[in-house]
Chain A
Amino acid sequence: MKAGGPERTAGPGGPGGRDRAGRAPRRARGQDAARFALMALPVAFFAVFFAYPVAAIVSRGLHGDGGWQLGRIWDVATRSDIRHVLWFTTWQALASTALTLLVALPGAYVFARFDFRGKQVLRAVVTVPFVLPTVVVGTAFLALVGRGGLLDELWGVRLDTTVWAILLAHVFFNYAVVVRTVGGLWSQLDPRQEEAARMLGASRLAAWRRVTLPALGPAVAAAALMVFLFTFTSFGVVQILGGPTFSTLEVEIYRQTSEIFDLTTAAVLTIVQFVAVGAILAVHAATVRRRETALRLVAPDTTARRPRGAGQWALLGGVLVSIAVLLVLPLAVLVQRSFDAPGLGYYRALADDDGGVFLVAPIEAVGNSLEYALAATAIAVLIGGLAAAALTRRAGRLMRGFDALLMLPLGVSAVTVGFGFLIALDEPPLDLRASWILVPLAQALVGVPFVVRTMLPVLRAVDGRLREAAAVLGASPWRVWREVDLPMVRRALLIAAGFAFAVSLGEFGATVFIARPDNPTLPVAVARLLGRAGDLNYGQAMALSTILMVVCAVALLLLERVRTDRTGEF
């Protein structure tokens, strides 16, 4: 132990970095420098692996005959078929978002506030759809509501010719986004806030509306934004369930790029999607910024309790039924079809190297996918964690710009990114075409926004005075982050990592372009099998999807265990 206690000497100009500082110019500059240092890696990452490939694709489409052909933008954008695509993309995304919120918000409440047997397993179950490749989600719904599907067999109902199939698949896919984002925060809100409102004369509903809802606002907005972005850029689901009538921008970009080879139209559509997404993000940033406040967070296990009274049991029952019908049923049909051959025929076929579909046995895709997804998760957590740490301390216009920028990969066509990787990253010093890292890089790009979105609200909700308490006790800014912020956001960090892992496993649009034929990922392998005729290929696709589902479920269950383990100290 030091005899004299705390250090008595301190070098001048030591690192600044306290919250409310920034009045003295010198200190402010030091803070900005630290913040920009944190931002440097994320910015470089996005510049090289996102902006550059996308720019390369766009310029290839609009650059020709010795100059820029910007007139093409107008020509393409005013075509009636393109206008139709734009309109459909927008309204189906809005409808999907509204429907998802309607179905999933009660679920978020139930997961946050109710304690019931099997809750952890159920939480993992609702997350599984989110990590399934979109192609598989489409196929599962086809098997449920399409021709010869379950509903067709039972009642002669078919939905695959209507937009309902797409909307239901989108709800299926995004249910977990709302439950995790909103429910995660909800479970940590102090119920006594609502009780205080009740004591001031607010009815149960009014207390919820005036106290809890505003506190949840940013999380609901963030979740809605994510759902909207996913459905706005929906690819696999719409391609399978949409048929020739329904086509989103992303599907159209894929068609123009890989079927018609009309790079000009694809480039214009990419720009249109980019602009639309940019506008949505700008509006979102403006609304969320105004409403983010330091919340009083408590341990989630103290807020959940067993349902009481008929109303609460009915709510729990209703949520369970909706989960069973909307989420479990399609998965069950999927699994049932995978076993629809004598003696596990489809599974055994996966180990055979005879189909000519791949250079390797399809089963090897499992190992590839896991390796890629782990690498992608590491990258995404590093990049997203740095970005979130930099964004925690509220700052100027420039940092808010970064905030919005980080969301862009969610909205930019994955197809464009994947194709852009191939075109742009093929020259030294960035000749990565032959490198295995290319796939994790593309997957991490989609994972980073999740990490940032999940961590930022929690980081910002940490009471600034706890950081001050640590600083006064001698913790440097870096120690403050490690000792105060990190333990409090560990849950969020794990959730973020889980999300990044999940989206990396399920990523399809970009990976389909860059995964090497001898190293396919699970979704790519499934898509290739689905693209071939014959019951055996279809069955193998179902079997492989089932394996992917099991892998995800196991990973998520492990995560659920870690999440509740609160004993460890660093």
Chain B
Amino acid sequence: MLLSLEGATVRFGGRTVLDAVDLDVAEHETVCVLGPSGSGKSTLLRAVAGLQQLDAGRVVLDGRDQAAVPAHKRGVGLMFQDHQLFPQRDVGGNVAFGLRMHGTSRDGQAARVGELLDLVGLPGARDRAVASLSGGEQQRVALARALAPRPRLLMLDEPLGQLDRSLRERLVVELRHLFGELGTTVLAVTHDQGEAFALADRVVVMRDGRIAQSGTPLEVWQRPADAFVARFLGFDNVVEAVVGGTAADTPWGEVPVPEGSAQGPGTLLVRPAGVRLVAAADGLRCTVAARTFRGTHVAVQLQPEGAPRLEAACALREAPEPGATVGVRFDAAETVVLGAPSAQPAVKGPAPGAD
């Protein structure tokens, strides 16, 4: 493992910001830590960088404990959330900074700066003032600066957080391509699931300083570990349920579940695509509360009587008007039985069994 966190714990006053976190990042892997603000993900990066002391646990890089290694000797790169470009230096001066710190010759610096500016798509920007750069350009310069000294591990703190949507989507693709090409090991944190899923080989979901789930984007998306992860990913159709065989008893009535689902009390997730609209008499009777246009589909908010709201994904033409009364049936292929209702497990690995 290139990077291992072992029981990493950080407390600010009485608050535990990182709570015994274990995390491994293998060489050439891109790991994205995903979590809401305040979940401790930035602190995690700072601890690895050596900017934040651990109260307990270890940071191990290349098999070496980093406790006594100050930030400037760890050989990791960190791209700050708001870039933190040096305002008194031009673009070239910023990119060359790490090279100068490592004693690279002037010619070497110049060559590497040119190479990196080409790489991030800013050829010829060397002499520009930092203040004259747009947000996207600043982001590219910050990336070039972090990459220049060839860090063994590159860390990105909300790398695309401040950019507009189209730029973000383009840069995610560019970054993924770039990291693959360079073979860089990357540890990024973000609160944006789309960004995390697009960028990462592996996604780590954090909650309150603990790791809630870790897995490939597909695993996490298909089988959220618990209600928290499911809701954080944007799924709202989450209820407590008792599973027996291939059906679950829920406030929405009986919902079919896939074969082999964990039995007994649990939490049930029904993806919006699994909420089928039928005639009012043929299913769970609901009133249409709202419609939201989502581009490829329409999200329909449904209010059953005496049960939590449901979200359904409808084709554009089939979406009912608000106020209409419809019936709902559930598709077993789009339902997932999550962990036990009260559990807030700090587990690693894909969806745990509920027992």
Q: How many residues of B contact A (CB 8 A)?
A: 46
Q: How many residues of A contact B (CB 8 A)?
A: 46
Complex interface: chain A residues within 8 A of B105 (CB): 1
Query: Beyond A7-B73, A14-B68, A466-B86, is A23–B53 a contact (Cβ under 8 Å)?
Result: yes
A472 adjacent to B78 (CB under 8 Å)? yes
Q: Roughly how many angstroms separate A19 CA and B49 CA in the complex, as a whole number?
A: 13
- Identity of the chain A residue whose Cβ is nearest the Cβ of B53 in the assembled complex: A23
Query: Beyond A6-B102, A6-B149, A466-B84, is A472–B73 a contact (Cβ under 8 Å)?
Result: no
- Encoded as 1 (CB less than 8 Å from any B CB) or 0, chain A from 475 to 506 comes to 11101100110011000000000000000000
A475 adjacent to B53 (CB under 8 Å)? no
A472 adjacent to B70 (CB under 8 Å)? no
**Residue B103 is within 8 A (CB to CB) of chain A in the complex:** yes
Complex interface: chain A residues within 8 A of B74 (CB): 6, 10, 472
A2 adjacent to B102 (CB under 8 Å)? yes
- Identity of the chain B residue whose Cβ is nearest the Cβ of A26 in the assembled complex: B68
Majority DSSP secondary structure for residues of B touching A: loop
- Encoded as 1 (CB less than 8 Å from any A CB) or 0, chain B from 195 to 208 comes to 00000000000000
**Residue A471 is within 8 A (CB to CB) of chain B in the complex:** yes
A20 adjacent to B52 (CB under 8 Å)? yes
B68 adjacent to A1 (CB under 8 Å)? no
Complex interface: chain A residues within 8 A of B86 (CB): 466, 469-470, 483-484, 487
**B residues 45-85 touching A (CB-CB < 8 Å):** 49-55, 62, 67-78, 80, 82, 84
**Residue B104 is within 8 A (CB to CB) of chain A in the complex:** yes
**A residues 8-35 touching B (CB-CB < 8 Å):** 8, 10, 12-24, 26-27
Complex interface: chain B residues within 8 A of A14 (CB): 68-70, 73
- Identity of the chain B residue whose Cβ is nearest the Cβ of A30 in the assembled complex: B70
Query: Beyond A14-B70, A470-B97, is A5–B149 a contact (Cβ under 8 Å)?
Result: yes
**Residue B99 is within 8 A (CB to CB) of chain A in the complex:** yes
- Identity of the chain B residue whose Cβ is nearest the Cβ of A476 in the assembled complex: B72
The distance from the CB of B27 to the nearest CB of chain A, in whole angstroms, is 14
B76 adjacent to A17 (CB under 8 Å)? no
Complex interface: chain B residues within 8 A of A22 (CB): 53
Complex interface: chain B residues within 8 A of A12 (CB): 68-69
Q: Roughly how many angstroms separate A24 CA and B68 CA in the complex, as a whole number?
A: 10
**Residue B339 is within 8 A (CB to CB) of chain A in the complex:** no
B71 adjacent to A1 (CB under 8 Å)? no
Query: Beyond A6-B75, A10-B74, A484-B86, is A474–B53 a contact (Cβ under 8 Å)?
Result: no
The distance from the CB of A20 to the nearest CB of chain B, in whole angstroms, is 6
Q: Roughly how many angstroms separate A22 CA and B55 CA in the complex, as a whole number?
A: 11
A5 adjacent to B102 (CB under 8 Å)? yes
Complex interface: chain B residues within 8 A of A488 (CB): 87-88
Complex interface: chain B residues within 8 A of A4 (CB): 150
**Residue A310 is within 8 A (CB to CB) of chain B in the complex:** no
The distance from the CB of B43 to the nearest CB of chain A, in whole angstroms, is 10
Query: Beyond A5-B75, A463-B84, is A475–B70 a contact (Cβ under 8 Å)?
Result: no
Partner of B103, one of A2, A10, A468: A2
- Identity of the chain A residue whose Cβ is nearest the Cβ of B52 in the assembled complex: A20
Query: Beyond A2-B104, A6-B150, A18-B50, is A471–B75 a contact (Cβ under 8 Å)?
Result: no
A474 adjacent to B72 (CB under 8 Å)? yes
- Identity of the chain A residue whose Cβ is nearest the Cβ of B81 in the assembled complex: A465
A473 adjacent to B98 (CB under 8 Å)? yes
**Residue A569 is within 8 A (CB to CB) of chain B in the complex:** yes
Complex interface: chain B residues within 8 A of A1 (CB): 99, 104-105, 108, 111-112
A474 adjacent to B52 (CB under 8 Å)? no
A474 adjacent to B70 (CB under 8 Å)? no
- Identity of the chain B residue whose Cβ is nearest the Cβ of A6 in the assembled complex: B75
**B residues 170-218 touching A (CB-CB < 8 Å):** none
Complex interface: chain B residues within 8 A of A471 (CB): 50-51, 70-72
**Residue B266 is within 8 A (CB to CB) of chain A in the complex:** no
Q: Roughly how many angstroms separate A568 CA and B78 CA in the complex, as a whole number?
A: 28
Q: Roughly how many angstroms separate A472 CA and B145 CA in the complex, as a whole number?
A: 11
Complex interface: chain B residues within 8 A of A24 (CB): 53-54, 67
**B residues 244-258 touching A (CB-CB < 8 Å):** none
Q: Roughly how many angstroms separate A20 CA and B82 CA in the complex, as a whole number?
A: 19
Q: Roughly how many angstroms separate A22 CA and B49 CA in the complex, as a whole number?
A: 16
**Residue B136 is within 8 A (CB to CB) of chain A in the complex:** no
Partner of A27, one of B53, B89, B152: B53
Query: Beyond A6-B150, A465-B80, A466-B86, is A473–B101 a contact (Cβ under 8 Å)?
Result: yes
**Residue B93 is within 8 A (CB to CB) of chain A in the complex:** yes
Query: Beyond A1-B112, A7-B75, A22-B53, is A17–B70 a contact (Cβ under 8 Å)?
Result: yes
The distance from the CB of A462 to the nearest CB of chain B, in whole angstroms, is 10
Query: Beyond A1-B108, A5-B102, A472-B51, is A18–B70 a contact (Cβ under 8 Å)?
Result: yes
The distance from the CB of A505 to the nearest CB of chain B, in whole angstroms, is 31
Complex interface: chain A residues within 8 A of B67 (CB): 24
**Residue B352 is within 8 A (CB to CB) of chain A in the complex:** no
Q: Roughly how many angstroms separate A480 CA and B84 CA in the complex, as a whole number?
A: 14
**Residue B320 is within 8 A (CB to CB) of chain A in the complex:** no
User: Which of A8, A10, A463, A569 has the most B CB atoms < 10 Å from its CB?
Assistant: A10
**Residue B264 is within 8 A (CB to CB) of chain A in the complex:** no
Complex interface: chain B residues within 8 A of A7 (CB): 73, 75, 102
A16 adjacent to B80 (CB under 8 Å)? no
Complex interface: chain B residues within 8 A of A468 (CB): 49, 51, 71, 78, 80, 84
A473 adjacent to B97 (CB under 8 Å)? yes
Q: Roughly how many angstroms separate A17 CA and B87 CA in the complex, as a whole number?
A: 23
Partner of A474, one of B54, B62, B98, B112: B98
**Residue B350 is within 8 A (CB to CB) of chain A in the complex:** no
Complex interface: chain B residues within 8 A of A480 (CB): 72
Q: Roughly how many angstroms separate A14 CA and B69 CA in the complex, as a whole number?
A: 7
Query: Beyond A2-B104, A6-B151, A474-B102, is A487–B76 a contact (Cβ under 8 Å)?
Result: no
- Identity of the chain B residue whose Cβ is nearest the Cβ of A302 in the assembled complex: B131
Q: Roughly how many angstroms separate A104 CA and B86 CA in the complex, as a whole number?
A: 34
- Identity of the chain B residue whose Cβ is nearest the Cβ of A465 in the assembled complex: B84
Q: Roughly how many angstroms separate A473 CA and B108 CA in the complex, as a whole number?
A: 16
Complex interface: chain B residues within 8 A of A463 (CB): 84
Q: Roughly how many angstroms separate A484 CA and B76 CA in the complex, as a whole number?
A: 19
Complex interface: chain A residues within 8 A of B97 (CB): 470, 473, 475, 483
Q: Roughly how many angstroms separate A475 CA and B100 CA in the complex, as a whole number?
A: 9
Query: Beyond A470-B97, A488-B88, is A475–B51 a contact (Cβ under 8 Å)?
Result: no
B101 adjacent to A479 (CB under 8 Å)? yes
B103 adjacent to A8 (CB under 8 Å)? no
The distance from the CB of B115 to the nearest CB of chain A, in whole angstroms, is 11
User: Which of B73, B150, B151 has the most A CB atoms < 10 Å from its CB?
Assistant: B73
Q: Roughly how many angstroms separate A179 CA and B72 CA in the complex, as a whole number?
A: 40
- Identity of the chain B residue whose Cβ is nearest the Cβ of A17 in the assembled complex: B70
A8 adjacent to B51 (CB under 8 Å)? no
B49 adjacent to A472 (CB under 8 Å)? yes
The distance from the CB of A21 to the nearest CB of chain B, in whole angstroms, is 5
B68 adjacent to A487 (CB under 8 Å)? no
The distance from the CB of B29 to the nearest CB of chain A, in whole angstroms, is 18
The distance from the CB of A17 to the nearest CB of chain B, in whole angstroms, is 7
The distance from the CB of B186 to the nearest CB of chain A, in whole angstroms, is 15
Complex interface: chain B residues within 8 A of A27 (CB): 53
User: Which of A17, A18, A477, A479 has the most B CB atoms < 10 Å from its CB?
Assistant: A18
Partner of A5, one of B88, B145, B152: B152
Complex interface: chain A residues within 8 A of B70 (CB): 10, 14-18, 471, 476-477
The distance from the CB of B148 to the nearest CB of chain A, in whole angstroms, is 8
The distance from the CB of B101 to the nearest CB of chain A, in whole angstroms, is 4
The distance from the CB of A466 to the nearest CB of chain B, in whole angstroms, is 5
Partner of B149, one of A26, A474, A484: A474
22 contacts between A and B (CB under 8 A): A1-B111, A5-B75, A5-B152, A6-B102, A6-B149, A15-B70, A18-B71, A20-B53, A466-B86, A469-B78, A469-B86, A472-B71, A472-B77, A473-B98, A473-B149, A474-B72, A475-B101, A476-B70, A479-B72, A483-B86, A566-B88, A569-B89
Q: Which are the 9 A-B pairs with shortest beta-carbon distances?
A: A5-B150, A6-B75, A473-B98, A474-B101, A1-B108, A10-B73, A471-B71, A12-B68, A469-B84
Apart from A8-B152, A19-B51, A479-B101, 4 more pairs, CB < 8 Å = A1-B111, A2-B104, A479-B72, A484-B86
